[in-house]
């Protein structure tokens, strides 16, 4: 009598969702359905489409606003999944659904849990100047990102890495991790390790407004913000005279001369004082203008001006 592969239900979005779903497809897993999100028209969609991948392989795909309704719970139960995976699916999945699969429900998270539970963990890790992060596959429980760890894959964060560059590393780590663990998950022989609650940290989602530069911070801290939210994210910004100025790339100069926080110290090269050291701006953009290298001109900035004055309307992109 032939052995049937476990029935797998996948909740997925973004590049991690795409790559992990592709792992399951390539190994011939028994995928009974995919749940994903409709892309938001206000978001910069720079990542691969889980919806397109599922359709390409004729996998039933759904994108309801919420799966936690009686109707969807019943429909999921009717699919009789034995394994449930969540790969960067953005919405909470209720406990009633998590209890359906007999072999368990598992989530792929973009940090080395228990650190950086919550939203956009890669951006937060870069913002906080971390030198390492990774991917964690863990059992899903009522508390988000708090279940037992099944496996982890670590990656380095270079001193000049942007959040997107780190995200590419984490995506590759997530793919490797799933490839290592899928056999034991399907056979029900996983090793579980409880998370250390004393080492846990939690971070919420970020809004475009969170990209506002606090010039009282050190040059290194401002630089970490710049690289954490530069393209394809909404960007780090400051204001001058009611106009918004985006700083897409810069370099910290902690050992250079000290100016007042936000003070333009020179126009060419464009350097700005911080709470400690100064920041050399490399690429900038006035709101509603084109992005330009700072070396292309003075951009209306002269020594003695102070950045950080009242805000202009905010950028529309989001980070989830």
pLDDT single digits (tens) 189-203: 999 999 999 999 999
- In this structure, the strands spanning 117-118 and 202-203 are parallel
The CATH superfamily label for domain 208-296 reads Formyl transferase, C-terminal domain (3.10.25.10)
Q: Where are the alpha helices (DSSP H) in the chain?
A: 14-26, 50-56, 70-78, 95-98, 121-127, 163-187, 219-229
Q: What is the distance between the alpha carbons of residues 24 and 126, in angstroms, rounded to a whole number?
A: 30
User: For residue 311, what pLDDT band results from cuts at 50, 70 and 90?
Assistant: very low
Mean pLDDT for 108-133 is: 98
Q: What is the distance between the alpha carbons of residues 113 and 99, in angstroms, rounded to a whole number?
A: 22
Mean pLDDT for 265-294 is: 95
Q: What is the distance between the alpha carbons of residues 149 and 163, in angstroms, rounded to a whole number?
A: 24
User: For residue 258, what pLDDT band results from cuts at 50, 70 and 90?
Assistant: confident
Mean pLDDT for 153-158 is: 98
All structural domains of the chain with their residue ranges: 7-203, 208-296
User: For residue 316, what pLDDT band results from cuts at 50, 70 and 90?
Assistant: very low
Q: What is the distance between the alpha carbons of residues 198 and 39, in angstroms, rounded to a whole number?
A: 37
Provide the pLDDT for residue 41: 87
Q: For 7-203, CATH number?
A: 3.40.50.170
pTM of structure: 0.92
User: For residue 255, what pLDDT band results from cuts at 50, 70 and 90?
Assistant: confident
Residue of 43 and 227 predicted with greater confidence: 227
Does the pLDDT of residue 51 top 60, yes or no? yes
Does the pLDDT of residue 73 top 60, yes or no? yes
Provide the pLDDT for residue 54: 98
- 192 Cβ partners below 8 Å, 6+ apart? 139, 148, 149, 150
């Amino acid at each position: 009598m032939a052995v049937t592969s476990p029935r797998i239900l996948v909740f997925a979005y973004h590049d991690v969702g795409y790559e992990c779903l592709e792992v399951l497809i390539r190994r011939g897993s028994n995928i009974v359905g995919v749940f994903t999100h409709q892309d938001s028209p206000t978001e910069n969609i720079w990542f691969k489409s889980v919806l397109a991948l599922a359709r390409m392989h004729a996998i039933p795909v759904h994108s309801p606003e919420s799966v936690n309704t009686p109707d969807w719970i019943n429909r999921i139960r009717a699919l009789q999944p034995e394994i449930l995976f969540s790969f960067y699916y953005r919405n909470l999945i209720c406990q009633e659904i998590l209890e359906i699969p007999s072999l368990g429900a598992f989530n792929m998270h973009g940090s080395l849990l228990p650190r950086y539970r919550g939203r956009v963990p890669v951006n937060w890790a870069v913002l906080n100047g971390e030198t390492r992060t990774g991917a964690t596959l863990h059992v899903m429980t009522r508390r988000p990102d708090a279940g037992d760890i099944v496996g982890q894959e670590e990656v380095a964060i270079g001193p000049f890495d942007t959040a997107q560059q780190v995200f590419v590393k984490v995506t590759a780590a997530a793919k490797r991790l799933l490839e290592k663990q899928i056999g034991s998950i399907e056979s029900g022989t996983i090793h579980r390790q409880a998370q250390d609650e004393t080492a846990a940290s939690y971070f919420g989602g970020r809004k475009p407004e969170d990209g506002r530069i606090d010039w009282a911070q050190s040059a290194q801290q401002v630089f970490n913000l710049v690289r954490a939210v530069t393209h394809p994210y909404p960007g780090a910004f400051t204001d001058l005279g009611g106009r918004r100025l985006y700083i897409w790339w810069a370099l910290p100069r902690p050992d250079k001369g000290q100016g007042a926080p936000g003070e333009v110290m020179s126009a060419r090269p464009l350097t700005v004082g911080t709470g400690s050291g100064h920041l050399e701006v490399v690429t900038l953009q006035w709101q509603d203008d084109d992005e330009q290298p700072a070396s292309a001109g003075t951009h209306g900035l002269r020594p003695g001006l102070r950045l950080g004055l009242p805000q202009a309307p905010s950028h529309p992109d989001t980070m989830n």
